[in-house]
């Protein structure tokens, strides 16, 4: 039996015996014990029931067959980031890459590409629609975002997931990273994945290597490429321009870009 349970039992039996004062100090020692801290932390993590509700009953984006894949899938926006931190990672074939998962999580993560590739994998052939008026059908494979959020013990206080990218773009007050955000409904959607593969090959630099978001019920600009960090937050206020995404901040594009 774990130390925490033993401590809880002892505290409960002392409580039953009527030693009120001792019960309080018993609780204090439970909270200080490392095992109990983990217990309390997991109790604050999104419950199984909540996660099931977020994962099920949602509309799925259409999926296509291999014959329907576009012969050419153009790249758009940043296609070859030049900032030194990205270039150094790219030149070592992303060996030193770590996906940071932080914010409102019980267990912050720094995941290497091999670690991500060992997690459950999902592949899907979907259509990408850019607001600039082009579409392409491609195959994406990666780890479902909910797997990563669960591994980090996402807390019940989280409402949005923010994706910070490596590439810098012109913004008010200088250069700022490209970034995007989605709510928990999309974050836990079965087709929302962190893709490291495109069309059965490693994700090319032009398409966001080493890791890019696929959130299939929304437009192209939500599909953050070059993901550096994932942060769970309660509000988008005060995050970069506060509108939940680079284009949302700069051009006033809609935050929810449903197709």
Ligand X SMILES: Nc1nc2c(c(=O)[nH]1)N[C@H]1C(S)=C(S)[C@@H](COP(=O)(O)O)O[C@H]1N2
Task: Name the residues that contact ligand X, by CB under 6 A.
Answer: 74-78, 130, 165, 167, 178, 207-208, 220-221, 223-226
Residue number with the smallest Cβ distance to ligand X: 77
* Among Mo ion, ligand X, none, residue 22 binds (CB under 5-8 Å by kind): none
Q: Please, which residue, 8 or 225, has the CB nearer to Mo ion?
A: 225
Q: Please, which residue, 128 or 146, has the CB nearer to ligand X?
A: 128
Q: How far is the CB of 255 from Mo ion (least distance, A)?
A: 15
Q: Which of 81, 103, 177, 220 binds Mo ion (CB under 5 A)?
A: 220
Q: Please, which residue, 148 or 257, has the CB nearer to ligand X?
A: 257
Question: Pattern 90-119, binding to Mo ion, x per CB under 5 A?
Answer: ------------------------------
**Residue 92 dihedral angles phi and psi, to the nearest 5°:** -105, 25
- What b/e string do you get for 178-203 counting C-beta neighbours within 10 Å, with b at 16 or more? bbbbbbbebbbbbbbbbbbbbbeeeb
Q: Is 231 within 8 Å of 208 (Cβ atoms)? A: no
Neighbours of 161 (CB within 10 A): 27
Structure tokens at 203: 């994700």
Place of tokens 């925490």: 4
Q: Please, which residue, 33 or 79, has the CB nearer to ligand X?
A: 79
* Among Mo ion, ligand X, none, residue 226 binds (CB under 5-8 Å by kind): ligand X
Q: Is 194 within 8 Å of 135 (Cβ atoms)? A: no
Q: Please, which residue, 8 or 228, has the CB nearer to ligand X?
A: 228
130 lies in the binding site for Mo ion (CB under 5 A): yes
Q: What's the rounded Cα separation, in Å, for the pair 85 and 80?
A: 13
> Which positions lie near Mo ion, rule CB under 5 A?
130, 220-221
């Amino acid at each position: 039996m774990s130390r925490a349970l033993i401590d809880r039992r002892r505290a409960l039996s002392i409580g039953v015996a009527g030693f009120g004062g001792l019960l309080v100090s018993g609780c204090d020692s439970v909270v200080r014990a490392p095992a109990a801290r983990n217990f309390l932390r997991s109790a604050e993590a999104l419950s199984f029931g909540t996660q099931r509700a977020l994962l099920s009953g949602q509309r799925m984006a259409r999926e296509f067959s291999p014959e329907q894949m576009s012969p050419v899938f153009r790249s758009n926006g940043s296609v070859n980031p030049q900032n030194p931190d990205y270039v150094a990672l790219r030149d070592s074939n992303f060996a030193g890459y770590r996906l940071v998962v932080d914010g409102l999580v019980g267990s912050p993560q720094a995941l290497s590409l091999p670690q991500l590739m060992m997690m459950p994998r999902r592949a899907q052939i979907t259509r990408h629609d850019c607001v600039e008026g082009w579409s392409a059908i491609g195959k994406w494979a990666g780890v479902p975002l909910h797997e990563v959020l669960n591994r980090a013990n996402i807390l019940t206080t989280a409402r949005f997931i923010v994706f910070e990218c490596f590439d810098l773009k012109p913004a008010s007050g200088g250069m700022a990273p490209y970034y995007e955000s989605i709510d928990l409904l999309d974050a836990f959607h079965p087709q929302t994945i962190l893709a490291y593969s495109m069309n059965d090959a490693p994700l090319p630099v032009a398409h966001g290597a080493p890791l890019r978001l696929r959130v299939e019920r929304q437009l192209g600009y939500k599909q953050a490429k070059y993901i550096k960090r994932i942060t769970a937050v309660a509000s988008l206020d005060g995050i970069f321009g506060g509108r939940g995404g680079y284009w949302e901040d700069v051009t006033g594009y809609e935050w929810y870009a449903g197709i």
